[in-house]
Chains A and B, each alone.
Chain A
Amino acid sequence: MADTEAFIVSLVQMRPGQKGKIVEINGGYGLTQKLDTLGIGAGKEITKVSGQLMRGPVLLQHNNTQAAVGFGMASRIIVEVHRKDKK
């Protein structure tokens, strides 16, 4: 598309309110498994609800499920987002 461009970022780098699609979970079996129990995994649409100051947990939403994940985990969740091309 002309006015939007796909970016690959981690959940940490997303802006609050931004939507995106998970590309991959860059973590071990434990993390993948934990997220899987909530139905969150590669290919799923998610919305970042908020992030906390000082490397605090990140809140994400998938369907009607909201979950808080630690900063480290969030940085290993890789998401594709579309945003207006500004830079």
Chain B
Amino acid sequence: MGNPNVGKSVVFNRVTGTSVIASNYPGTTVEFTKGSIKLGDRRVEVIDVPGTYTLEPTCKAEQIAVEMLNEHADGDVVINVVESTNLERSLNLTLQLLKRKIPAVVALNFWDETKHKGILIDDKKLEQILGVPCVPICAVTGEGVKQLVERVKEAKLSEYDYEDEERWHEVGKIVEKVQNITHRHHTWLERLGDASVRPLTGIPMAAMVMFLAFKVIRFIGEGLIGYVSEPLFEKLWMPVVMKLSAVMGSGGFLHNLVIGQLIDGEIDFGQSFGLLTTGLFVPIGAVLPYVFAFYVVLSLLEDLGFIPRLAVMVDTLMHKLGLHGFAIVPMLLGLGCNVPGALATRVLETRREKFIAATLLSIAVPCAALQAMIVGLVGEHGLGYLAIIYGTLLAVWVLLGVIFNKTVKGESPEIFIEIPPYRIPYMRSLLKKIWIRIKWFLKEAVPFVLLGVLIVNLLYTFGIIQFIGKITAPVVTRVLGLPQEAVGALIVGFLRKDVAVGMLIPLGLTIKQLVIASVVLAMYFPCIATFTTLVKELGVVDMLKSAGVMIVSSLIVGGLLNLVLP
């Protein structure tokens, strides 16, 4: 346990060898993760919990941490990770923990940073005062982690006693005894940190970072598709599936399921819609490059410590939407995948905020998979059309937020976050984090895409899509101006949005129809994975309300686009 952003997850990864995502902003971890280590000849369970400043929780993430502590009050050991560069604040929680009479070990993380910052801490003396082992460590490089694990055995109850009202006073006394601060100059990272939160320099910097981020994502994503994934599929995979197609007799039900329809006697990875063709090409050939590019950039910005500063810069805007600046975190994560985005709404304090953030996220924040497909499909008609799609979604995001702010009852508190210092990302943990996310994407996306492709084939074979198409024709064709068959995409979009966009390709839509279909697909409903997460996070009642807003707003916006676009 420990304060937010002191590196608990990094320590956890080091100690157990498992992989959880760690970043440089408070609130990265919003749920607990279990892992295990061998201590002597026993296997011991280790739990990573969200950070908290106090044992009196103020939001759901903190509540999870405190509940964990209560559940494991007997016979367990708390590893209290503290930020050595911020000893005073960290010890406040340490003293609260010690008072609970649970055996504890204190890990003094960021030990290396104290040296740069001119802070001298006497860890021996601290150990003497607190009466529990105190181990200096540097979790990202792994220094001291071995000693930490060894000394977990020595964890014991602290004899340290104090009055609750006097806690800060006690902390002050301890810090005075063990810490010695020498004068030093500001580092360039600190200057950069200060500059990025002043309005005059910060706003242009934030705008530039976002612009660069998009450029880099497009550059990496397009580069990977053009030079790696497409050639791989066309040159290596194509001959294999063509041969298979010939073996299977170039047609028939099973052939169409596995290979799909041949187009002029050829396989088309975008349009054939077989499990081994489109089913693999969509997640790996078309989407993965963009997912990878997105997570490289996001992970870098996270580890630097840019995210909380961005939260400060956008705070005023977000207040207009009934949220505060930190709600930008679920939105940014949502641009990768809406599921972690939905989980990240846990850092928000009130039900109103969570409802607004989750609804805006699932309506107007397209995930990387959907974006990759839209960029691939619409991008070839010109960037202007992409701009219409993104512009519409952004406008919907702002407009809906303003409406929510006026109508949704409840409170939206002001921003209150700690701003961590900028840190140079540690390459190995950065790469590890990107790898965790890619692995997660492959595990979550590929099966669903395959299932989606399978269902598409079955629905077509049994004429179900054609049937629903007829029923919904008044809405789909009159209001949205789309052909009846497009309803198939809307059905499959519930499962996977990238497959849904793929289904539009063979329909030969006009560019106007493509734009409308893309916007509606982004807005009308979250995919099933996001939906189930939201039900858990918001509760059934709020989720039903949220879903109502989604369907109505997507019809309105789609209908308007149909009227307005030439």
Contact = CB atoms under 8 A, between A and B. Distances in A.
Interface residues of A, number: 29
Ordered nearest first, which 7 A-B pairs have the shortest CB separation?
A: A70-B414, A37-B53, A66-B419, A56-B316, A50-B198, A39-B89, A68-B312
A34 B419 CA distance: 15
Nearest to A58: B312
Interface string B98-137: 0000000000000000000101000000000000000000
Contacts, number: 92
A59 interface: yes
A38 B89 contact: yes
Nearest to B309: A68
Contacts of A50: 194, 197-199, 202
B553 interface: no
A39 B197 contact: no
Size class of B's contact patch?
35 or more
A4 B262 CA distance: 86
A62 B58 CA distance: 21
A69 interface: yes
Interface string A24-35: 000000000110
A80 B24 CA distance: 33
Contacts of B324: 70
A55 interface: yes
Contacts of A16: 198
Interface of B: 53-54, 56, 58, 85-86, 88-89, 92, 117, 119, 168, 171, 193-194, 197-199, 202, 308, 311-313, 315-316, 324-325, 413-421
B312 A57 contact: yes
Contacts of B85: 64
A2 interface: no
B325 A57 contact: yes
A9 interface: no
Interface in A1-56: 16, 33-34, 36-39, 41, 49-56
A55 to B, nearest CB: 7
Nearest to B193: A66
Given A34-B58, A49-B194, A57-B312, 10 more contacts: A36-B168, A50-B198, A51-B199, A52-B316, A63-B86, A64-B421, A68-B197, A68-B416, A70-B315, A73-B414
B224 to A, nearest CB: 37
Contacts of B56: 33
Nearest to B312: A68
Interface of A is mostly: mixed
B419 A67 contact: yes
Given A37-B92, A41-B168, A49-B194, A64 B86 contact: yes
Given A34-B416, A38-B418, A56 B312 contact: yes
Contacts of B311: 68
Contacts of B168: 36, 39, 41
Interface of A: 16, 33-34, 36-39, 41, 49-57, 59, 63-73
Nearest to A70: B414
A73 to B, nearest CB: 5
B35 to A, nearest CB: 28
Contacts of B421: 64, 66
Given A38-B418, A57-B415, A68 B308 contact: yes
Given A70-B414, A73-B414, A63 B88 contact: yes
Contact of B418 (A65, A71, A73): A65
Nearest to B414: A70
Contact of A68 (B54, B92, B415): B415
Contacts of A64: 85-86, 117, 119, 421
11 contacts: A37-B53, A38-B89, A39-B171, A54-B316, A57-B325, A64-B117, A66-B419, A67-B416, A67-B417, A68-B315, A71-B414
Contacts of A65: 86, 89, 418
Contact of B419 (A33, A36, A41, A68): A68
Contacts of A53: 199, 316
A66 B86 contact: no
Contact of A38 (B53, B117, B197): B53
Contacts of A70: 315, 324, 413-416
Given A49-B194, A50-B194, A52-B312, A69 B414 contact: yes
A37 B310 CA distance: 23
Given A37-B92, A39-B89, A52-B199, A72 B414 contact: yes
Given A49-B197, A52-B316, A68-B325, A63 B89 contact: yes
Given A53-B316, A57-B325, A64-B85, A39 B416 contact: no
